[in-house]
Amino acid sequence: MTDRRRAVPRILFGAWAAVWLGAFVVFLSTPATGDGFTRGLNRVMLFLGWQGAAALLALAAWLAGRRATGRDRIAARIPALLSGLVLGGVAAIVLWAVATA
């Protein structure tokens, strides 16, 4: 694999990490606005938007790392797996909220 092809998944991994961690920083640093039911919804929507962008980068890293070998191939899979964990966690919270309502 050429150096250029090895660099693409690594660059995408770095971009994904910045966006994925940025979602948590934005969530924690944004003040909750709104009244009643919608109070704090702006924070949740910002978090989900940033996580959506991170998921797209994770998919790109997965696809770019298909031809990689060894540690590079494993590293290209990590973003998609962690984004899947966040998606699964959000789905579990929603299902729990519906089940207990």
pLDDT digits (tens, 9 = 90+) for 26-57: 999 999 888 887 888 899 999 999 999 999 99
Using a 10 angstrom Cβ sphere, with 0-12 exposed, 13-18 middle and 19 or more buried, the burial of residue 32 is exposed
Tokens standing for residue 45: 């929507």
Kindly report the pTM of this predicted structure.
0.83
Determine how many CB atoms are found less than 10 A away from the CB of residue 41. 12
Total tally of structural domains belonging to the chain: 1
Q: 34 or 21: which carries more pLDDT confidence?
A: 21
Query: By residue range, what is the domain housing residue 57?
Result: 3-100
Count CB neighbours of 28 within 10 A.
9
68/22 Cα distance (integer angstroms):
27
